[in-house]
Amino acid sequence: MNEHAGEPPMINAFDVAKLGTLPEATQALIRRRQRVMGASYRLFYESPVHLERAEGVWLFAPDGTRYLDCYNNVPCVGHCHPRVVAAVRAQVGRLNTHTRYLTDIVVDYAERLVATFPPPLSQVMLTCTGSEAIDLALRIARFRTGAVGVIVTENAYHGVTAAAAEASPSLGAGVPLGLHVRTVRAPDSYRDDPATMGEDFAARVRAAIADLRRHGAAPAALLFDTVFSSDGLSTHPPGFILPAVAAIHEAGGLFIADEVQPGFARTGSAMWGFQRHGAEPDLVVLGKPMGNGIPIAGVVGRPDLFDDFATRTRYFNTFGGNPVSCAAALAVLDVLRDEALMRNAASVGAYLRAGLCDLARRFEQIGDVRGDGLFIALEFVTDRRSQTPNAALASRVVNAMRRRHVLISASGLHGNTLKIRPPLPFGIPHAELVIEALAASLEES
Ligand SMILES: Cc1ncc(COP(=O)(O)O)c(C=O)c1O
């Protein structure tokens, strides 16, 4: 963690005070970057990683050093997948305009995308980023309900626009929450009683609704990431989100499922995180993996909600849903299907979790291994009885893994949970590399 006075904390941030410890060439590039891009641009790791190209699950430095990517969910079908590259190349040489003209590829993509959702989620509005999609979903929810209140989890991250940032408590005290935003503790698959965690989560949502009402605001939406990734990842037991969804519906608000992290088959058990729980969102926000690195995001929802919004507002997004982004996104859907990547996420994820559970038998500081498919969390504690978070160990292990050329990071309210979230073509040999590197990193930490 970067705990410089005055700097908002970011898990696994490079500490600029240690610039002098890096090789000369790295120092020079960091200085140039700081000079021209300013202080907002932070880097990962005690020793930042310099990259030049990528392929599949591998990232390469300019000197040829190869890193195993166990962290990036954007290149979900693998870095620089040839079918995505070919689709983008072909489309960018053919046509790229906004959505006020008729183009086949945009409609083809929208149809293919909504076909992956259960009815009545049958329409999509396309944006460039997840933040814009969050912003749009909040506007639609507020239009429909005539209410302003939004309930999010305690360490949620939903994006960078003003509306998304004011509903993103993980950004820290320097980014104030909206007046009508309430936070609730996220479910915790490690510490909560599985028999009651769903009802307990719903009780916290009801308390937040009551608090909003006390301040004269009705709830427009309950918004959460359906795997609670920035809260530390909670995926089990399936179904635990249902009572909270019922609570917001009873109060007249909408449930917005943020699928930016779990979406597009990552959890191995379903295309979308909400499906693992059998939940029925009103609106679903998509992003990151959608275009395998080409900017495209969107909101999927019920036609009545979109109609409501369209009759009262004018909405246009210059780059949202452009043909080149749609070509990339269409190729992503093709590759997910043709390479059976959901099945791969399930089987390789299970193998990796089993290996990590074996490590937990050797290392007492591993409190919990959890997740689904290729979204895996490993939580460090000082001791298993107290379950006290051990963020210092997580930070040491993340950096020890980086020295072994295996890239992961940490997450959660306390930053003590390793986040392992590789591109979906991850194989058993890659999982074995992770387990070996983690065993060696734990030995030395
Ligand atoms: C859960 C979640 N929602 C929304 C966003 C915002 O997406 P973007 O960075 O594309 O604006 C992110 C980005 O990290 C995210 O993790």
Q: Which atom of ligand 1 is nearest to the CA of 159?
A: 6
**pLDDT value, residue 399:** 97
Asked if the model's pLDDT at residue 8 lies above 80, the reply is: no
Stated as kind and residue range, the H or E segment containing 30 is helix 24-37
Query: How crowded is residue 305: how many other Cβ atoms within 10 Å of its Cβ?
Result: 21
Asked if the model's pLDDT at residue 5 lies above 50, the reply is: no
Distances (CA, A) of 108 to 322, 367, 385: 12, 46, 54
Cα(13)–Cα(115) distance, integer angstroms:
39
pLDDT tens digits, 330-367: 999 999 999 999 999 999 999 999 999 999 999 999 99
User: What residues contact residue 384 under an 8 Å CB cut-off, 6+ apart?
Assistant: 364, 367
CA 88 to ligand 1 center in whole angstroms: 23
* Cα angle 345, 346, 349; round to 5: 70
Q: Which pLDDT band, with edges at 50, 70 and 90, does 445 fall under?
A: confident
Q: Which atom of ligand 1 is nearest to the CA of 161?
A: 11
The mean pLDDT value for 83-104 works out to 97
135 C-beta closer than 6 A to ligand 1: no
Query: How crowded is residue 346: how many other Cβ atoms within 10 Å of its Cβ?
Result: 19
Please report where in the chains the tokens 């990071």 appear, as a residue: 409
Query: How crowded is residue 180: how many other Cβ atoms within 10 Å of its Cβ?
Result: 20
The mean pLDDT value for 224-240 works out to 97
CA 274 to ligand 1 center in whole angstroms: 17
Query: Which DSSP string do the residues of 85-115 spell out, in sequence order?
Result: HHHHHHHHTT----TTS--HHHHHHHHHHHT
CA 260 to ligand 1 center in whole angstroms: 6
> Could you give the angle at which helices 197-214 and 242-250 cross, rounded to 10 degrees?
30
**pLDDT value, residue 318:** 96
The mean pLDDT value for 179-207 works out to 98
Cα(440)–Cα(412) distance, integer angstroms:
24
225 C-beta closer than 6 A to ligand 1: yes
Query: How crowded is residue 443: how many other Cβ atoms within 10 Å of its Cβ?
Result: 10
| Contact indicator for 443, 397 with CB cutoff of 8 Å | no
The separation between the first and the last C-alpha atoms of the chain, rounded to the nearest angstrom, is 16
Asked if the model's pLDDT at residue 205 lies above 80, the reply is: yes
158 C-beta closer than 6 A to ligand 1: yes
The mean pLDDT value for 147-153 works out to 98
**pLDDT value, residue 9:** 65
Using DSSP bridges, classify how beta strands 123-127 and 297-301 pair: parallel, antiparallel or unpaired. Answer: antiparallel
Ligand 1 pocket test: pick from 155, 260, 261, 421 the residue with the most ligand atoms within 8 Å of its Cβ. Answer: 260
CA 126 to ligand 1 center in whole angstroms: 15
Asked if the model's pLDDT at residue 161 lies above 50, the reply is: yes
3-state helix, strand, coil in the chain (%, to 5): 40, 15, 45
294 C-beta closer than 6 A to ligand 1: no
Asked if the model's pLDDT at residue 207 lies above 60, the reply is: yes
| Contact indicator for 431, 357 with CB cutoff of 8 Å | no
Tell me if residue 137 falls in helix, strand or coil. helix
CA 134 to ligand 1 center in whole angstroms: 8
Q: Which pLDDT band, with edges at 50, 70 and 90, does 4 fall under?
A: very low
User: What residues contact residue 260 under an 8 Å CB cut-off, 6+ apart?
Assistant: 130, 133, 225, 285, 286, 287, 288, 297
287 C-beta closer than 6 A to ligand 1: yes
Which burial class, exposed, middle or buried, applies to 441 when counting CB atoms under 10 A from its CB (0-12, 13-18, 19+)?
Answer: buried
Mean pLDDT of the chain, nearest integer? 96
| Contact indicator for 149, 182 with CB cutoff of 8 Å | yes
Query: What percent of the chain stands above pLDDT 90?
Result: 96
**pLDDT value, residue 10:** 84
CA 286 to ligand 1 center in whole angstroms: 9
Q: Whose CA is nearest to atom 2 of ligand 1?
A: 158
**pLDDT value, residue 6:** 44
Stated as kind and residue range, the H or E segment containing 255 is strand 254-258
